[in-house]
Structure 1
Amino acid sequence: MKKLIYIALICVSVLALVSVTRYMGDNTSKAPGYHSEVILTLFSMKTSSDFVIKLPDTDAGVKLTSIIGLGTQQGKAQGDYQIDEERGEVLLDYMLINVLGPMTADNKMYFVAPFTISNQGSGVFTYVGLFEQNFDNQTIQHLDSYFIGDRVQLNEMRLFDSKIELSFNQHGEQQAYAEAPTETVNLTLGVDDVIPTKLVKQ
């Protein structure tokens, strides 16, 4: 009886480990000398840490593993994920990375960048992410996300007077999602004065 209980506990532990690996990415089985090609390409930092995007409203993280369209205006950092039966893709538009200010006294820098999440459904969800680059630890940390819309067309994202200004097209109330979005929206975001790791509408 004790042997059966012991085997059952081992099975539970293995399933828990598989679940954590699936959700957060396997950071424990990296080969010696491993470094993130995405972080090296985008930030010139050779580090074993990965650039991980947190899926909003979940505990899951998606590791960005490749650069597509390098040297073009359509360049993206890309990562795939699977959560249970759901498969999806994250694309971060590194061409629209905006640094929010100079390096801090503790060798950190903050930046924003838009990214999209898509899965087997028809939706393509666009967010603006807030990130911290730590030069001492050579890490990139995803701090917060602000939802922009579903199947929107991002026209512009820039910094003006320490604010993040966006222009994008969204679908009008009478417009089918199969059509290109035509309703132009201007949005201004900023970092919360009280919670400096949170993006808020201005």
Structure 2
Amino acid sequence: MPLPQKNTEIISDLKLWNQLIADDKAAFSALFEKYLNPLVNYGKTLMPSHEKVKDCVQDVFVDIWLYRHSLSDEVVVKAYLFSSVRKRIARLYERDRIFRQTTPLEDLEFSLKFSIEHSMINDETLDLEVRQLNQLLNTLPPRQKETLYLRYHQGLSLEQIAEVLEINHQSVKNLLHRAILHLRKEWKGSISLLLIGGYLAL
């Protein structure tokens, strides 16, 4: 199971972030290249149009560069970027009248279908169980799936997930607890649920 974001990664990102604030274009490019694909992949779970999602991600980075001198020099860069992309997509939905102007961000529906990697199981006899476990994961409500994705696939801490989803820490804990409780209650197979976090993948 991947651990939450490593300190070395946080330090590296923060160093690039502060260099960016100090007008370093190379640092800006490094962050853009590092996070473009993860942010696009996340954005596609909220909006099906690849091009629109990519435009949203690029717009986020354009704003970061334009307003770099007003940015805080103490942020968790990964959480900030994911949160910014989520907000940008929500505004695009509002502009296109897919949602009403009053629609809150939490109504964005997370649409990723989890898929446990067959190659990571290495046992053909477990193929049926893998399919059944995938089905069980995908019966979870969108909000619980998104929380699992951010926690186990992106390695964000509970505090960082709360920032991305704009909810409090306790709400994140509740979402994870309900998701895991449901999986433990419904799962009858032999694959340990302790391994699920390490197998969640796009």
- TM-score scaled to structure 1, two decimals? 0.25
Which of 1 and 2 has greater Rg? 1
Higher relative contact order (CA 8 A, sep 6+): 2
- More strand by proportion, 1 or 2? 1
